[in-house]
Structure 1
Amino acid sequence: MKVKIKIDKDYEKPFCVIYTSEVSDEINEYLKLLSKSSEKTLTGRNGEDIVIIKPDEINNIYTANGKIFAVTSRGEYSINTRLYKLEETLDSKKFVRISNSEIINLNEVKSFNLKISGTICVEFFNGKNTYVSRRYVSKIKERLGV
């Protein structure tokens, strides 16, 4: 792929144009990468407190009783962003979906235990565990290169 950068004082924010004969998977990946901001923050609620959560602080994000929660070393916070939107906006190199109701931060994972038949146990550095649903096992194994 050829890349060209043009400096123009008329643009306060970067503006990208891609010329192509067809939209391929490669182009779609570039679009995803370009549309993500470098470090989005989330707002979480714990009782009456509203806190700013940086993505690197997150261990995992899960749904329970129709609500979405982000788990960090500081605590657990309710967030108002849908899980599929979080999956789209969080860095796909760090975050991976392990079930229909959970996304984990790979940088916070201590180990993956493959001994359990048909599923994978995920152990975090904080000592907590969660499980990869059967539907996502092959995706996780592929991501881990197993």
Structure 2
Amino acid sequence: MEIIFEEDIEMDRGTTKVTTHPAEKEHWANIEVAIQTSEKRIMVINAKNDRNVSIVSSSIAVIEPEGRMCSVRVITGEMFHLNTRLKFVEEVLNSPQFIKINNQTIINTSYIKEFSATDNARIKVILTNGSCYFVSRYYIKNFRRNYHG
């Protein structure tokens, strides 16, 4: 099978168009699965030794600002740094599974264990690793709209 990549500035970012010969239609499901399951990797800095490391974005549980960088905590508990500000992280990740829940936190919705309403119209979110975060009132609509757990 020959693979040809083309750019189309008219397409939305995050959209992929696959064009095949009609005889290849029986393979579309396999092609879609291969594209959907391909893991996006990002370069982070190991907090212990300052070395660059490539990690799978789906392993990230929480991202929080730390000075001019961001701290990245993966679900296993390891800590990394991402050399960008929090306001640009969503562009770097470019994934609907990451939701900003307050001015200081982006979480991976894949790791939400449970959530419940609290005082002052906020939501308490508990991740599978036991960590607890709060969705601020400003981000509640976005959280409800984008979390499909």
Instruction: Answer yes or no: same fold by TM over 0.5.
Output: yes
1:68 and 2:59 equivalent?
no
What TM-score, normalized to structure 2?
0.69
1:121 and 2:102 equivalent?
no
The aligned counterpart of 1:134 is 137
The aligned counterpart of 2:49 is 48
Supply the AA of the counterpart residue of 1:62. Answer: E
- The Cα of 1:117 is off from its aligned counterpart by 3.3
Question: Aligned partners of 1:96, 1:121: CA distance in 2, in Å?
Answer: 14
CA shift in 2, pair 1:143/1:84, >3 Å: same
SS of the residue corresponding to residue 119 of structure 2 reads coil
Supply the AA of the counterpart residue of 1:93. Answer: P
Supply the AA of the counterpart residue of 2:41. Answer: K
Per-residue Cα deviation, 1:70-128 (whole angstroms, up to 9, x for no partner): 01114111221222322013243211111222111000111121233311111000001
Supply the AA of the counterpart residue of 1:116. Answer: D
Question: Aligned partners of 1:31, 1:40: CA distance in 2, in Å?
Answer: 21
Could you list the runs of 5+ residues in structure 2 that have no partner in the other structure?
17-37
> Structure 1 segments of 4 or more deviating over 3 A?
64-67
The aligned counterpart of 2:20 is none
Tell me if structure 2 keeps the 8 A contact 1:42–1:54.
Answer: no
The farther-off stretch of 37-46 and 86-95 is: 37-46
Structure with more helix by fraction:
2
SS of the residue corresponding to residue 33 of structure 1 reads coil
Tell me if structure 2 keeps the 8 A contact 1:95–1:105.
Answer: yes
- The Cα of 1:57 is off from its aligned counterpart by 0.8
Question: Aligned partners of 2:42, 2:69: CA distance in 1, in Å?
Answer: 19
Per-residue Cα deviation, 1:28-77 (whole angstroms, up to 9, x for no partner): xx522148x96132222213242322111100100134431001114111
Tell me if structure 2 keeps the 8 A contact 1:69–1:77.
Answer: yes
What TM-score, normalized to structure 1?
0.70
SS of the residue corresponding to residue 110 of structure 1 reads strand
The aligned counterpart of 2:12 is 31
The aligned counterpart of 1:17 is 8
